[in-house]
Amino acid sequence: MYYAIILFGFAVNPCCYYPCQNSGVCVRFGNDHYQCDCTRTGFYGDNCTVPEFRTRIRLLLKPNPSFAQYLLTHFQWFWDLLNNSFLRDTVMRLVLTSRSSLIPSPPTHNTKYGYLSWESYYNTSYYTLLLPPVPEDCPLLMGTKGKQTLPDPKVLAERFFKRKKFRPDPQGTNLMFAFMAQHFTHQFFKSNHEVKAGFTKAFGHGVDASNIYGDTLERQHQLRLHKDGKLKYQLVHGEVFPPTVSEAPVYMKHNRVCDILRAEHPTWDDEQLFQTTRLIIIGEIIKIIIEDYVQHLSGYFLKLKFDPTLLFNERFQYSNRIALEFGQLYHWHPLMPDSFIIDGEEVTYSQFIYNTSLLTHHGVEKLVDSFSRQAAGQIGGGHNSHEVVLKVAEMTIKESREARIQPFNEYRKKFNLKPYTSFYEFTDDPEMAKGLEELYGDIDALEFYPGLMLEKTRPNAIFGESMVEMGAPFSLKGLLGNPLCSPEYWKPSTFGGETGFHIVKSATLQNLVCHNSKWYPYVHFRVSKKEQEMNPRKQSTEL
């Protein structure tokens, strides 16, 4: 502690140094003393750095994240064999348990409380925080490392986030994926910007389809037709579309399922038809997200499987709270292109944003087909955010500071990743490394969101190691922690019988579109090989 007093001229809260490793909890005693609570971390010692015997064995046997990623994305012949054997369930269970165990349930911290409290658990108007916020009495905003003042968010966005030239994602991600990501996450990322950072307007903390049904009971009733369990709709040239904006925007997928249930259950009233259909829709969403969306994002040759029964004999809690860090890492705006190509026509941002006439003019099929064929941008590595969405990066950095989110390297440790020792190790762009070093002064002062977005990408991947290793646990815990996936819910009667259960278990992205359209467009989260082989510039203008 003597060093801290000499360095800053006053006694420093020792927890500002993040002394407790391996998820140990720092508790301050007096001005300059602390203890690390190492309970159930698998480590002991003053700073929870000495592994217990079982931990030592586990660490010896566990492959590092880079090696595991390499295995899962290479040797396709091996994974083809495994995907058709009983071992698929075993590996899938291992993936689910190893990822989900990194996310605490019940929640631990929020932006107000850096220690366990009833308020952190009970008050769901907060986003939770995986790591406690930086103590307010630390000498620097990131603790004790770096410069006295953090870089201007606008400077960071302009120098490191702003697109120089559109860089397509080497994994072949398309705009269909980008818009699915936006639509899907808006049911649980609903930050309340009218109050201090870290608050949400959402009542649910997971997949509840509130982006379709409304996030309040009042809104839900405004959307409902109150007949046959259906939602409101309008007919345009004989085609079914969501109602006008004055009534409420909804997707019509719900009404098709209502008709199926009504045929099976003619005695059911409007309320039971509506509520059961909603459960089916939620189940379909989870299956599509795991088996199509996450499958594409992972790049794994292991064929991911949505089967809640895999966890029925595991230690698993069916609850979830959305973390602010999860909301921050999901700001994937580099996906957005320079312009949109719809049915061979170029559409600028000014023509695209808030223009619902594009839907009625072109129809759902042409929009899906066009978005599935147009490449999205690579998320990681920096220099790939269109200027139209650059403000989002600035806002996210400001939100992170208001919430006092810990530095990027502390999250690397939390997710069992080796912290970076320099900016030149962090990025393979020497100019960026030099610029970040000038602005931050120390790699241990690099902020969470810039760290995720600017980190060097894995070879031929959409983003870097940290985004994968941090994002996957949040995603899988949120999806499988849904009550629908619990033993009490996961049964035919929940969905109105075997027919409804089959709708959930057979859901795919292709079925979602083709069951709700007149003709079958090309629908995928990856551009076709033909489009991938095209020149990136040609992709953005001649699709």
Q: Which of 186, 221, 361, 515 is catalytic?
A: 186
Half-sphere exposure of residue 21: CA atoms within 13 angstroms, side-chain side? 15
Distances (CA, A) of 209 to 283, 295, 472: 10, 21, 20
The DSSP secondary-structure symbol of 63 reads: P
DSSP string, 103-167: S-SS--B-SS-SS--HHHHH-TTBPBBSSPPPPTT-SBTTBSSS-SSPPPHHHHIIIIIB-SS--
Q: Which of 126, 330, 420, 449 is catalytic?
A: 330
3-state secondary structure 250-302: CCCHHHHHHHHHHHHCCCCCHHHHHHHHHHHHHHHHHHHHHHHHHHHHHCCCC
Q: Which two tokens stand for residue 509?
A: 């992205």
Are the beta carbons of 176 and 296 closer than 8 angstroms?
no
186 catalytic, yes or no?
yes
- Sign for the CA dihedral angle at 492, 494, 499, 500 comes to negative
Q: Which two tokens stand for residue 247?
A: 């009534």
Are the beta carbons of 110 and 120 closer than 8 angstroms?
yes
Query: In sequence order, which residues have a C-beta less than 8 Å from that of residue 299 and are 6 or more positions away?
Result: 72, 73, 171, 461
The DSSP secondary-structure symbol of 458 reads: P
Burial of 417 (0-12, 13-18, 19+ CB in 10 A): middle
Residues recognised as catalytic: 186, 330
